[in-house]
């Protein structure tokens, strides 16, 4: 067997160190960090200073000022994993979420949170609420829309949309305006498929000692095998007032 040279020994030591470092976080250091979003880009990335990180699909409604977790792969690519719980936008700041894909629901009257129209609100805060929901629903299934709020939250909202009696084209007498003073119920709106419809919500939410999820919650008004669809580009926006 040939005798190992000094260069061979040095190379072996370097490789051994690399192998050990790859499995020991004390050697390689943390591969994630917190950061504040400085720009939201149209290609699905966010900027945090000089770093450009691609958002996970679960990180919806990215906004400048978000406190997020970012990580880096061994190939030096950055990923934005999502907004951190408890991130405080401050008075006057906005929370925004937009649907990036259609969501269909059929044969159900159980309202559940939309997978895209959800934001994290702080405890002991006051927000104004606005939502634009464009949908496609049949005259049998229609749609019902409301909100999910953290435990103890109070508030009120008004929904404006087609009445359940509405037909394609509609008239002013077929517009429904209804208000609620809690977040336990939902408000119906008429479907006119194949014509698209929309509902517009305005309101206020006041959180108590618990922050958490505020989301659009919806279902069919009557169970129908023809799906009701909440469409891409619907959005939810909250502004913190105190």
Residue 7: phi and psi, rounded to 5, are: -65, -40
* Residue 182, C-beta contacts closer than 8 angstroms, at least 6 positions apart: 154, 155, 156
**pTM confidence score:** 0.65
Q: Report whether pLDDT(172) > 60.
A: no
| Residue in this structure with the two tokens 């922050």, named with its chain if needed | 211
Question: Cα angle vertex 161, ends 155, 165, to 5°?
Answer: 125
How many Cβ atoms are within 10 Å of 10's Cβ, its own excluded?
Answer: 10
pLDDT band at 238 (very low <50, low <70, confident <90, very high): very high
Q: Note the pLDDT tens digit of each residue in 202-218.
A: 999 999 988 889 999 99
Q: Report whether pLDDT(112) > 90.
A: yes
Dmax (CA) for the chain in angstroms is 96
Handedness of CA 147, 152, 158, 163 (dihedral sign): positive
Q: Note the pLDDT tens digit of each residue in 67-110.
A: 888 988 877 889 999 887 555 677 888 889 999 999 999 999 99
Q: Note the pLDDT tens digit of each residue in 9-60.
A: 666 665 665 555 544 544 545 577 888 788 889 899 999 878 899 999 888 7
Average pLDDT over residues 125-149: 95
Question: What would the two tokens of residue 97 be?
Answer: 């979420």
> Peptide bond before 189: cis, by omega within 30 degrees of 0?
no
């Amino acid at each position: 067997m040939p005798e190992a040279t000094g260069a061979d020994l040095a190379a072996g030591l370097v490789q051994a160190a690399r192998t050990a470092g790859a499995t020991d976080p004390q050697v390689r250091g943390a591969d994630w960090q917190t950061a504040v979003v400085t720009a939201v880009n149209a290609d699905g990335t966010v900027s945090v200073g000089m770093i450009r990180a691609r958002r996970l699909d679960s990180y919806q409604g990215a906004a400048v000022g978000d406190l997020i977790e970012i990580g880096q792969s061994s190939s030096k690519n950055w990923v934005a994993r999502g907004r951190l719980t408890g991130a405080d936008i401050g008075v006057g700041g906005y929370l925004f979420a937009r649907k990036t894909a259609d969501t269909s629901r059929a044969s159900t009257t159980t309202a559940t949170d939309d997978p895209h129209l959800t934001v994290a609100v702080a405890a002991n805060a006051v927000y104004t609420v606005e939502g634009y929901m464009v949908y496609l629903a049949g005259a049998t299934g229609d749609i019902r829309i409301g909100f999910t709020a953290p435990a103890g939250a109070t508030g009120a909202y008004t929904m404006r949309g087609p009445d359940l009696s509405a037909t394609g084209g509609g008239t002013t007498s077929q517009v429904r305006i209804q208000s609620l003073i809690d977040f336990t119920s939902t408000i119906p709106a008429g479907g006119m498929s194949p014509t698209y419809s929309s509902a517009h919500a305005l309101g206020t939410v006041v959180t108590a000692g618990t922050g958490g999820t505020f989301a659009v919650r919806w279902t069919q008004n009557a169970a129908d095998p023809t799906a009701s669809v909440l469409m891409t580009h619907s959005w939810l926006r909250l502004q913190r007032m105190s």
